[in-house]
A and B are shown apart, each in its own frame.
Chain A
Amino acid sequence: MPQFIRLGFFLAIRQVRRASKWTTGLIIFVMTLTFLNLVVVSGILVGLIQGAVEANKQYYTSDIIVSTLEKKNYIEQSPRIIDIIRAMPEVSALSARYLSSGRVEAGYKTAAKEEDIDSAGAPFVGIDPVAEDNLTGISDFVIDGEFLEPNDYDEILLGSYLLTEYFPVETASFPTLDNIGVGDKVRITIGDIQREMTVKGIVRSKVDELSYRVYFTENQLRELIGRDDYNVGEISARLVPGSDPVAFKEALLRAGIGEYARVQTFEDAQPKFLQDIKDTFALLGNMISSVGLVVASITIFIVIFINAITRRKFIGILKGIGVSGRTIEASYVFQSFFYAACGSFIGLLILYGFLEPFISAHPINFPFSDGILVAPVDSTVIKILILVVTTIIAGYIPARMIVRRNTLDSILGRN
């Protein structure tokens, strides 16, 4: 190891060890905050969208979603496809959903005229309540009333976006139902078929797809839409942990399912605008973090500059007794590295020991998602490197400025 590195390290260690503990603590505190600012701000902004993406996956698409081809209302050969998927060892849970659309009406008994009937269009979905709940945990989102039972008949769950009470923004293109709650009767219309149903529960989720829908038991919706062939509109499947959704999708396509249905991983099914927003927020987060980085650099510059200025006499003495300028510069670089490394280390402990698990367990309640903290290790490592390099440069420059001054002037304190 070069001599100037060894002696520079030796001097740095002594200087840090015998420096004011308050000053050292304060610098490390600033570095820790800078690190957290670098990682957490962008992590939360990305996590805001990632929370929505993951909720979409967990509560709707699951790992793999098989849906209808364009211009088709159902997936042909559904029973065979379901059997194929269910037989694959990677699958841990599956739910097949019958899909249709129709209208939900309220106040139809008291309305004087047909146009006075309170009415809202909605996607209808027929589910096996046990399989669906096992896959998505949808029963957790029943905020009023009860979840469906397999043998329920003439009972439905309404998505909260269909009710004025929960979604008080009624427009001509998106009407909602007034004064409807659990136990009330509503009339549903599918094509020419009308039927009176009882509202068994209300479903509300930050995954919009769930809050727009009307839920039936699969048997009843199949009967209402006449799907005697058991062809469903949507199949979601969860894979065992460690399975690769892309590889699984490829396997399904190789099995010929692509002829009858569209097969997507949760990422394929994710709306493109979500990815765009995620990228935008990541950029925004990085911009905000960059400001923090500049502030930290200036802080370190000032700290090292003041340190070097107040120690100018001792820098002069070191040069006077024959210690090279680059050895002295190296000692300041090591000090800067020490501050950045300590700040990053404490920041890492806070990040992965507390913040990430805590926010994961208690997501931030944003209006449209449960925000998590996205801090992948690889990007965190890059940010640590950026912080360390920036700090080292910020420490090196003032040290070099002082070291280059005349030796005797430094020793005697002359300007």
Chain B
Amino acid sequence: MNLIEVKNLTKTFTDGDKETRVLKNIDFVAKEGEWIAIMGRSGAGKSTLMYQMSLLDDPTSGEIHLFGKDVHNMSADEKTDFRLSELGYVFQDYALLPDLTALENVAVPLMMKGKYKSEAYLEAKAALERVGLGHRLGNLPSQLSGGEQQRTSIARALAHKPKILFADEPTANLDNESSRSIMKLFQEVHKQGQSIIMVTHEEEYSRLCGRIVHLDDGKIISDHVTKR
């Protein structure tokens, strides 16, 4: 089953009279259970492509189908709701809420899905234990290391069981050891059937993925399955 189907996708940024086409007629398909690395040099459009596919931004033209549904006509509220129910995000800078503890950060999307606080806390605790942070539940983000913050972010992204996990350079701000442990975590969740689309610069980590898509100058220049 196609999780994502992108057709003729274009994204143009306008600054005054100046127009910059960041994505140029992209066609792309992601299937259920895949772990895809999107690679390319800076400015190639890889993060922009991920933002369009994950409904964080609107394309200039083209079509995006998520789980067979055309998202073009969705309202902002519908997209927010869709992100909550189907998608998970791991950001480069962790994007944790500074006023909330690790447990509360993970519990927020669960509560938004309608769970009561006690139930959300239980599930959030389980998610944090799964990423090895069972002893850091009550810590604020400022009290966690970079690796721990990223693990918290992954726990938050996975706690509500999304169909696709989007990760935007999840190891960019981490040291080698933390990076390896994060990638190990990705491997584990992928083994359990989680579909992942990950933007990365790191060749080493891209080889862990089943498929690598290379972008350059807003176009896909290669798309191949790896030999894992």
- Identify the A interface with B (CB < 8 A): 3, 6-7, 10-11, 14-15, 17-19, 313-314, 317-325, 327, 406-408, 411
**A314 to B95 CA separation, bound complex (whole angstroms):** 8
**A408 to B53 CA separation, bound complex (whole angstroms):** 13
Does any Cβ of A come within 8 Å of B74's Cβ?
A: no
**A175 to B17 CA separation, bound complex (whole angstroms):** 89
Q: A14-B100, A320-B89, A408-B51 are in contact. Are A325 and B112 (CB under 8 A)?
A: no
Can you give 19 contacting A-B residue pairs, CB < 8 Å? Answer: A7-B112, A10-B108, A10-B117, A11-B108, A15-B99, A17-B99, A314-B98, A317-B97, A320-B83, A321-B108, A321-B109, A322-B81, A322-B84, A322-B112, A323-B109, A323-B112, A324-B77, A408-B51, A411-B91
> For A314, what are the chain B residues with a Cβ–Cβ distance below 8 Å?
97-98
CB pair A321–B117 under 8 Å, yes or no, is: no
> For B56, what are the chain A residues with a Cβ–Cβ distance below 8 Å?
320, 407-408, 411
Q: A14-B99, A15-B99, A320-B56 are in contact. Are A7 and B108 (CB under 8 A)?
A: yes
User: Residue on B with the closest CB to A4?
Assistant: B112
CB pair A327–B112 under 8 Å, yes or no, is: yes
| A-contacting residues, B39-88, CB 8 Å | 51, 56-57, 76-77, 80-81, 83-85, 87
CB pair B57–A323 under 8 Å, yes or no, is: no
User: Residue on B with the closest CB to A315?
Assistant: B97
**A18 to B84 CA separation, bound complex (whole angstroms):** 26
Given contacts A7-B108, A18-B140, A317-B96, 14 further A-B contacts (CB under 8 A): A7-B111, A313-B95, A314-B98, A317-B91, A318-B97, A320-B95, A321-B83, A321-B84, A321-B89, A323-B84, A325-B80, A327-B112, A407-B80, A411-B91
User: Residue on A with the closest CB to B115?
Assistant: A3
User: Residue on B with the closest CB to A16?
Assistant: B99
Does any Cβ of A come within 8 Å of B114's Cβ?
A: yes
**A10 to B121 CA separation, bound complex (whole angstroms):** 13
> For B148, what are the chain A residues with a Cβ–Cβ distance below 8 Å?
none
Closest approach, in angstroms, between the C-beta of B94 and any C-beta of chain A? 10
Interface size (B, Cβ < 8 Å)? Answer: 31
User: Residue on A with the closest CB to B116?
Assistant: A6
CB pair A323–B80 under 8 Å, yes or no, is: yes
**A318 to B114 CA separation, bound complex (whole angstroms):** 15
Closest approach, in angstroms, between the C-beta of B49 and any C-beta of chain A? 13
**A318 to B99 CA separation, bound complex (whole angstroms):** 12
Closest approach, in angstroms, between the C-beta of A265 and any C-beta of chain B? 58
> For A15, what are the chain B residues with a Cβ–Cβ distance below 8 Å?
99
**A19 to B140 CA separation, bound complex (whole angstroms):** 13
**A216 to B111 CA separation, bound complex (whole angstroms):** 83
**A327 to B98 CA separation, bound complex (whole angstroms):** 18
**A6 to B87 CA separation, bound complex (whole angstroms):** 23
User: Residue on A with the closest CB to B98?
Assistant: A314
Closest approach, in angstroms, between the C-beta of B132 and any C-beta of chain A? 21
**Ranked 6 nearest A-B pairs via Cβ:** A322-B84, A18-B99, A408-B57, A408-B56, A322-B83, A317-B95
Does any Cβ of A come within 8 Å of B219's Cβ?
A: no
CB pair A10–B111 under 8 Å, yes or no, is: yes
Closest approach, in angstroms, between the C-beta of A270 and any C-beta of chain B? 57
Q: A14-B104, A406-B57, A411-B56 are in contact. Are A324 and B81 (CB under 8 A)?
A: yes
> For B76, what are the chain A residues with a Cβ–Cβ distance below 8 Å?
325, 407
> For B151, what are the chain A residues with a Cβ–Cβ distance below 8 Å?
none
User: Residue on B with the closest CB to A407?
Assistant: B56
Does any Cβ of A come within 8 Å of B156's Cβ?
A: yes
> For A7, what are the chain B residues with a Cβ–Cβ distance below 8 Å?
108, 111-112
**A279 to B148 CA separation, bound complex (whole angstroms):** 66
**A14 to B95 CA separation, bound complex (whole angstroms):** 17
Closest approach, in angstroms, between the C-beta of B74 and any C-beta of chain A? 13
> For A18, what are the chain B residues with a Cβ–Cβ distance below 8 Å?
98-99, 140
Closest approach, in angstroms, between the C-beta of A177 and any C-beta of chain B? 77
> For A11, what are the chain B residues with a Cβ–Cβ distance below 8 Å?
99, 108
| A-contacting residues, B200-218, CB 8 Å | none
> For B81, what are the chain A residues with a Cβ–Cβ distance below 8 Å?
322, 324
User: Residue on A with the closest CB to B85?
Assistant: A322
> For B140, what are the chain A residues with a Cβ–Cβ distance below 8 Å?
18
**A127 to B164 CA separation, bound complex (whole angstroms):** 97
